[in-house]
Chains A and B, each alone.
Chain A
Amino acid sequence: GDSVTQMEGPVTLSEEAFLTINCTYTATGYPSLFWYVQYPGEGLQLLLKATKADDKGSNKGFEATYRKETTSFHLEKGSVQVSDSAVYFCALRKSSGDKLTFGTGTRLAVRP
Chain B
Amino acid sequence: DAGVTQSPTHLIKTRGQQVTLRCSPKSGHDTVSWYQQALGQGPQFIFQYYEEEERQRGNFPDRFSGHQFPNYSSELNVNALLLGDSALYLCASSSSGQLYNEQFFGPGTRLTVL
A residues bordering B, Cβ < 8 Å?
Answer: 4, 32, 36, 41-46, 49, 51, 89, 91, 96-105
Contacts and interface: CB of A to CB of B under 8 A. Distances in A.
A100 B56 contact: no
Nearest to B42: A102
Given A96-B99, A99-B33, A44 B41 contact: no
A98 B94 CA distance: 11
B43 A97 contact: no
A97 B31 contact: yes
Nearest to B41: A104
Contacts of A96: 99-101
B31 A44 contact: no
A41 B108 CA distance: 9
Given A43-B106, A97-B94, A100-B35, 14 more contacts: A4-B42, A43-B90, A43-B108, A44-B43, A44-B90, A46-B102, A49-B100, A89-B43, A99-B48, A99-B58, A100-B45, A100-B103, A102-B44, A105-B41
